[in-house]
Chains A and B, each alone.
Chain A
Amino acid sequence: MNLYQSNADINIKLPQGKAGYISKGNTDIRISGVPDPECRRMRYPRIGIYAGSGTSHSWLWFVDMFERMGFHAVSVLDAPAVRSGRLQQMDVLAVSGGDTVAIAEALGEDGARQLAAFITGGGVYLGACAGAYLVMNSSKPHLCHFNFAAVKITNLSKRLPTCQSMPHKFSIAYGCEHIFHPVREAVGLRLTGVPPFSGEPALLVPLYGGPGMLAPPEAQVLARYDHFTDKTVFLVDKDLAEETLISTAAALRVPMGNGQMYLFGPHFEHPHYHRANRLVADAVYWDSRRNPDECSPVARDALQLPTSESANLIHSLRRELSNSRIVAAGLEMFPVWWLIGAKAYEPEKIRVFLDAMWRRLKPLEKRGRIWARAGVPDLLMADACETTSLLRQLKNELDQGSVTDPTARTLFHLLHRNTMRFFELYFQTISNNLTP
C-alpha cells in the first residue's frame, strides 16, 4: 500500500472540519477517526518551507513530501518573509539543507527573533541537516542569534581528520573550527519509541552532512545512528566515522516555550525514504497546536486568472522549462562543479529545480484556473526566459573553456527565486481549490 495514502486521505478530511486522531501507541494504526485515551486530535497545518538565501535544493524534498501526503497549505518563504513576520501565520516551519551560516546571516537578528517567537508561541520547527545546525547553541557570528537548543555536535573538530573521498563535500568552516562529514548516503537508525516516533523500530535514512548530536536533558531522543549500510560512502576512516556517529542522536524533539523543535541529522524528508517521511508527518500532526480555530488557510492576496490566461501561462511555462531542461540535460555531460557559498553544486542540481516545476505543470493544468498574486505570472515568465538564456550562456562558456562560476552563481540564484515563485503560485492554486 502507498505509505502516503493514509495521510493524503486524512488531509482531505481535516480542512472540512472532520476529526482525525494520531495515537501515541506503538502500533501501525497511528492515524484514525476514532480517539483513544492517549491520542491527540490532528489539525490541518499551515506549513512554511524556508527556501531563501543559504538553502540548497533540498527544500524541494519537503515540498515533495508534504504534497504527496496531501499537506497543501504550504507557503515557500524567503528571508524577508520570515523577518517580516509571515512566520507567525504558520503552524510549522521546515528548514532543510544548505549553508547554515548563510541561512543565519540571511535571517539575521530579526529573523531569529521571529523564529523564537514562532516556536515559543507553539510552532513546530522541523530542521534537517543545516536546518538542525541552525538552532543549536553557537558563539559564531550570525549563528549566535539562534541559540535555541543546547545540542552538542559530534562531528565538530578544531582539526580536520584526513579526508578519504569527496573532498568538495567533506567539510565546512564553523568559525575557527570545522564541521566534517564522516559519511554520506544511507545509514541505519534505531528508534527509541518515544512518541510520536512510534511503531518503527528501525529505518534507513540518507545523511548528507547533517550532525551527530548529543542531547541536552530537556530533549527527547527519537532516533540514534545505529549502523552503516552497503550504500554508505565513507569520507573518513571507518573507525572514526563509527566513533563520531554511532549511538549519537540522529533525531531530537526539543521543547521551546509552547512549541517543539524537531532536529534531524539525516534528511528524513528525502523523497526516496517513505517511512522516514511518515515520521515527519507524525511529528507535524502530534505537535501542531497553534491557531486551532483556523484550519483552512487561504492565500487571500491571490487572484484567480481567467481560463485563457491560465492556459497561456502554463503553455508558456512549458515552452521555457522545456528549453531550459534540454540545455541542462546536456550540461550534465560536463565534469564540472561550482562552489557557491560553502556548498558544491553540480550540473545535475539544475534539473532538480526545473523538474520540480516541470512535473507539476500537468496537475496545475488540470486545476483549470490559476491563483496568483498580481504580477507574479509576468515575473515567473521573465525569470523562466532568463533561465534559458543563462543556461545557453553557460553551455557556450563551457564549450569554450571559459570561467563559468559567475554565470553559475547567477543561474542558481535565479533558479531558487523562480522555483519559489512557482510554488507560491502552485500551492495557492491548490489550497484555494480546497476552500469550500
Chain B
Amino acid sequence: MEYLSTDKILVIDLATSKIEETALDESLVSEKIGGAGITKHLYEKHLNDDPIVIGTGLLTGTTCPASASGLITAKSPVTGKMCHCPVIYKVGIEIKFSGYDYIVVKGVSDKPVYLWIHDGVADISDASGIWGKDVWESTDSLRKFMGDDLLQTMMIGKAGENRSDYAQICYNYWSSPDRFGLGKLFGSKKLKALAFRGMGLIEVADHENFVRRSLEILKEIKTNDFMTKKGIAEIASAMGEAGVEEWLEPIVHRHSADYFTPYATNTAVFLDEDPKRVEESKVAEPGVLISDVLALLAFKKLGLSAEDAGRALKACAKYGIDPAAVAELSGKSSLKEIVDSFDGLSGTVTLKGKGSFSPWCPLKPIFNDFGLSGDAAEAEAWWERRQAVAMIFGIQPIFSVMCPELSEENMLELAAIGTELDLTQEILDRVVADLLK
C-alpha cells in the first residue's frame, strides 16, 4: 500500500520474542478501508493468540481535520467481547509516524516488557525497571532513558499490573478512552507499555488536491458556532449539564486539542500551581489534563469540588484505572475514600452503547443536532455508526459527534484522493455493517 500508509504490519509474539513484518496489501485496503476495518480483520486472524491489535485510520496523521485517532482492538476484560478503543492526543498519529499502520501483539511474555516502536524498528525491551511504578513515573522514566520529551506512550499502572478489571491503558500521562479494561489485558501479557516515536513521512497520491480539499473542509468546519468555544466544560454544557463551566473555571489553566483537531477537547487544570500562571510551572506535577467529560461529571455528581475531582482524575491516571468506573463503583464522596478504593474496586459498570465503541465519547451530538429527531434508538444507531466511521478513518471521536461537515462523503473523497483507490459509499457501508454486527 503506497499511499496514506507506512505499508507495514508488525506482528510481535511476546511468548517467543519473534518479530515479523508484512506488507499491507492494497487489496485489503480496497476491501476494509482501514482503521477498525483492518484491526478487526487482524484480530480475527490472530484470534487464538488473544491479540491486542493497535492500528491507525486511513486518514490518521494527515491534513484531514481531526485525523488524530488511532485505535486498539482487543477482547475487553469488561465485556468479554471485541472492542475498539480510540487512541487520542498525539499518540495515535505517532503510531503511523513510527513506521507501522498496524501492530499485532500476541502471546504472553514471561517477564515484564515494553515495546519500543521507532522509525520502522520494533524492540522488545526489559520493563523490570518500570514495572511497579505508576504511569507518570514510568512515562518519565522512559522519556528520560530515550532522551526524548516527545516520546508517545501507552502505559499501564499498578491497576493493570494487578489485573484489575477496570485497569486502563493510559496515553502518556493521561487517562484515555479505555472503558474496556484493556489495561488488564496488557498486565496479563506482562506488557507494561508501548512507546512510539518516528520521523517518517506519509506519501499522498494527489497531495495538492488532498491538501486543497482538506483546507476547504476545514473552512466549512470553521463556520460552526462552536469554533468560538473550547475545552471540556463547554462540551459538558452542550450535553445539558448545567454549572460545569463555573465549577471548573477557577482551576482551568489551558485547553488543548488533539492533532489537527479544530476544537480543543481537553482541558488542563492546575491543582498545585496558580492556574493563571503563563510561564512554565516550577512545580513538578502542577495538575492534570482532562479528556474524559463523563468521568469529570461523575465526580462532580458525587459532590466533589472541582479541585478534588481534578485530584481524583490525577490519581486515576497515575494508578492507571478507569475514572468513570471508579466514580460509579466506589460509591464514595471524599477524595481520600475514592483513592483508597482503587485496590479493591469491584462490581459491574454500566457501559452505554453496544460495547464495540467507547462510551468515553458522549452518546449524543455535541453543539449540532445532525438532523436527529430526538428518538433514542435513532440517536444510538447514529452514534454507533459515527464511531465506526471515525475508527475506520482515524477521526477524533468526540469531534466526530460535533461536526457534520466531517461527513462520510468528505472522508471517502479524501481517502480516494489520497490513495487513488476507488473507495465508495457501498464499501464503507459494508465495512461499517461488519463492525456493527
Residue of B120, B145, B146, B197 near A318 (CB, 8 A) is B120
A395 touching B199 by the CB < 8 A rule? no
Complex CA gap A318/B99 in Å reads: 12
Selected contact of A326 from candidates B120, B144, B197, CB within 8 Å: B197
Please give me the residue from chain B that is nearest to A389 by CB atom: B147
Q: How far is the CA of A330 from the CA of B148 in the complex (A)?
A: 6
CB of B227 closer than 8 Å to a CB of A: no
Judge whether A319 is part of the interface by a CB distance below 8 angstroms.
yes
Q: Which residue on chain A has the smallest CB distance to residue B99?
A: A322
Contact residues in A for B146 (Cβ distance below 8 Å): 323, 326-327, 392
> What 1/0 mask marks residues of chain A from 322 to 337 whose CB sits below 8 Å from any chain B CB?
1101110110000000
The answer on a CB contact under 8 Å between B199 and A326 is yes
Query: How many angstroms between the C-alpha atoms of A326 and B147 in the bound complex?
Result: 8
Known: A326-B151, A330-B149. 14 other contacts (CB 8 A): A318-B119, A319-B121, A322-B118, A322-B120, A322-B121, A326-B118, A326-B197, A326-B198, A326-B199, A330-B147, A330-B148, A392-B146, A392-B147, A395-B148
- The distance in angstroms between the C-alpha atoms of A330 and B146, with both chains bound, is 11
Contact assessment for A395 and B123 in the assembled complex, using a CB-CB cutoff below 8 Å: no
Q: Is A13 an interface residue (CB 8 A)?
A: no
B47 within 8 A of A: no
Give the shortest distance, in Å, between B96 (CB) and chain A (any CB). Answer: 15
A319 touching B123, Cβ below 8 Å: yes
* B381 interfacial contact with A, CB 8 Å: no
CB nearest to B122 among chain A residues:
A319
User: Quick one: closest A residue to B118, CB to CB?
Assistant: A322
CB neighbours of B148 from chain A (8 A): 326-327, 329-330, 395
Whether B119 contacts A322 by the Cβ 8 Å rule is yes
A307 at the interface (CB under 8 A from B): no
Q: How far is the CB of A376 from chain B (nearest CB, A)?
A: 22
Chain A neighbourhood of B123, CB < 8 A: 319
The reply to whether the CB of A213 lies closer than 8 angstroms to some CB of chain B is no
Q: Are A330 and B119 in contact (CB under 8 A)?
A: no
Task: Check A84 for interface membership: any CB of B closer than 8 A.
Answer: no
B433 CB-CB contact with A under 8 Å: no
Q: Which A372-398 residues sit within 8 Å CB-CB of chain B?
A: 391-392, 395-396
A193 CA to B149 CA in the complex, in Å? 54
Taking CB as reference atom, which chain B residue is nearest A391?
A: B147
Question: How many angstroms from the CA of A327 to the CA of B199 in the assembled complex?
Answer: 11
The interface residues of chain B lying within 8 Å CB-to-CB of A330 are 147-150
B199 touching A329 by the CB < 8 A rule?
Answer: yes
Least CB distance from B93 to A in Å reads 15
Q: Does A158 contact B (CB under 8 A)?
A: no
- Check: A413 CB closer than 8 A to any chain B CB: no
Quick one: which of B391-413 are within 8 Å of A by CB? none
Distance A395 CA – B411 CA, assembled complex (angstroms): 41
Main secondary structure of the interface of A (DSSP, over half): helix
B118 CB contacts on chain A under 8 angstroms: 319, 322-323, 326
Compute how far the CA of A323 lies from the CA of B148 in the bound complex, rounded to whole angstroms: 10
A315 contacts partner chain B, Cβ-Cβ < 8 Å: yes
Contacting residues, chain B, for A323 (C-beta < 8 A): 118, 146
Per-position binary interface string of chain B over residues 19-63, scored 1 when its CB falls under 8 Å from any chain A CB and 0 otherwise: 000000000000000000000000000000000000000000000
Would you give 17 A-B contacts (Cβ < 8 Å), ordered by A?
A: A318-B120, A319-B118, A319-B121, A322-B120, A322-B121, A323-B118, A323-B146, A325-B119, A325-B199, A326-B118, A327-B146, A327-B147, A329-B148, A330-B150, A392-B145, A392-B147, A395-B148
B411 to chain A, nearest CB (A): 31
CB distance from B63 to the nearest CB of A (A): 21
Q: Which of B147-188 contact A (CB under 8 A)?
A: 147-151
Question: Which residues of chain A have C-beta atoms less than 8 A from B197's C-beta?
Answer: 326
Chain B interface size band reads: 10 to 19
* CB-defined contacts of B199 to chain A, threshold 8 Å: 325-326, 329
In chain A, positions 346-396 with a C-beta closer than 8 Å to chain B are 391-392, 395-396
CB neighbours (8 Å) of A327 from chain B are 146-148
Report the nearest A residue to B123, measured CB to CB.
A319
Residues of B within 8 A of A391 (CB): 147
Q: Which residues of A contact B119 (CB under 8 A)?
A: 318, 322, 325-326
The smallest C-beta distance from B139 to any residue of chain A, in angstroms, reads: 15
Chain A, 219-269, CB within 8 A of any chain B CB? none
Residues of A within 8 A of B147 (CB): 326-327, 330, 391-392, 395-396
Alpha-carbon distance between A248 and B197 when the two chains are bound, in angstroms:
49
A323 to B149, CA, bound (A): 13
User: Would you give the 0/1 interface string for B108-140, flagging 1 where the beta carbon is closer than 8 Å to chain A?
Assistant: 000000000011110100000000000000000
9 cross-chain pairs, A with B, having the tightest CB-CB distances, nearest first: A322-B119, A327-B147, A392-B147, A395-B147, A319-B121, A322-B118, A326-B148, A330-B148, A326-B197
Nearest CB of B to A302, in Å: 27
In chain A, what residue has the closest Cβ to B149? A330
State the Cβ distance, B319 to closest chain A Cβ, in Å.
Answer: 27
* Complex contacts, A392 vs chain B, CB 8 Å: 145-147
Using A329-B199, A330-B149 as known contacts, say yes or no to A315 and B121 having CB atoms under 8 A apart.
yes
A407 to B148, CA, bound (A): 18
Interface residues of A in 91-107 (CB under 8 A from B): none
* B-side contacts of A396, CB under 8 Å: 144, 147
Q: Which residue on A lies nearest to B98, using beta carbons?
A: A322
- For the complex formed, measure the closest distance between the CB of A327 and the CB atoms of chain B, giving whole angstroms: 4
CB neighbours of B151 from chain A (8 A): 326
Expressed in whole angstroms, the Cα–Cα distance for A318 and B120 within the complex equals 9
How far is B150's CA from A161's CA once the two chains are assembled, in angstroms?
Answer: 44
Inter-chain CA distance A319–B98, complex, in Å, is 12
A325 to B118, CA, bound (A): 10
Separation of A395 and B197 alpha carbons in the complex (Å): 17
Q: Which residue of B lies closest to A329 (CB)?
A: B199
Residues in B neighbouring A315, C-beta threshold 8 A: 121
Closest to B119 in A: A322
B250 to chain A, nearest CB (A): 32
| Chain A hits for B198, CB < 8 A | 322, 326
A338 to chain B, nearest CB (A): 17
CA distance in complex: A329, B149 (Å): 10
Given A325-B199, A326-B197, A318:B150 Cβ within 8 A: no
Which positions 172-227 of chain B face chain A at CB distance < 8 Å?
A: 197-199
Residues of B within 8 A of A329 (CB): 148, 199
Distance in angstroms from A4 CB to nearest chain B CB is 22
Query: Which residues of chain B come closer than 8 Å to A322, judged between CB atoms?
Result: 118-121, 198
The CA of A329 and the CA of B123, in the complex, are separated in Å by 20
The residue on B at minimum CB distance from A399 is B144
Give Cα A396–Cα B143 distance, bound, in whole angstroms: 11
**A141-171 CB contact bits vs B (8 Å, 1 = yes)?**
0000000000000000000000000000000
> Which of B121, B147, B148 has most chain A Cβ within 10 Å?
B147
Give the docked Cα–Cα distance between A183 and B150 (Å): 37
Q: Please indicate the chain A residues that have their CB under 8 angstroms from the CB of B150 in the complex.
A: 330
In the bound complex, residues from chain B placing their C-beta under 8 Å from that of A319 are 118, 121, 123
Give the distance to chain A from B144, nearest Cβ to Cβ, in Å: 7
Q: How far is the CA of A315 from the CA of B147 in the complex (A)?
A: 21
In the complex with contacts A326-B197, A396-B144, A318-B121 CB distance below 8 A = yes
Minimum C-beta distance from A222 to chain B (A): 39
Q: In the docked arrangement, what's the CA distance between A326 and B150, Å?
A: 9
Shortest CB distance B129–A (Å): 15
Least Cβ–Cβ distance between A328 and chain B, in angstroms:
9
A352 → chain B, closest Cβ, in Å? 14
Residues B75-113 near A (CB distance < 8 A)? none
Residues of B contacting A326 in the complex (Cβ-Cβ under 8 angstroms)? 118-119, 146-148, 151, 197-199
Q: How distant is the Cα of A365 from the Cα of B3 in the complex, in angstroms? A: 22
Query: Complex formed: what's the CA distance from A327 to B118 in Å?
Result: 12
Q: In the complex, what distance in Å separates the CA atom of A160 from the CA atom of B144?
A: 44
Within the assembled complex, what's the spacing in Å between the Cα atoms of A396 and B149? 11
Of the candidates B145, B149, B197, the one having the most CB atoms from chain A within 10 angstroms of its own CB is: B197
Q: Which of A327, A330, A392, A396 has the most CB of B within 10 A?
A: A330
| Min C-beta distance of A329 to chain B, whole Å | 7
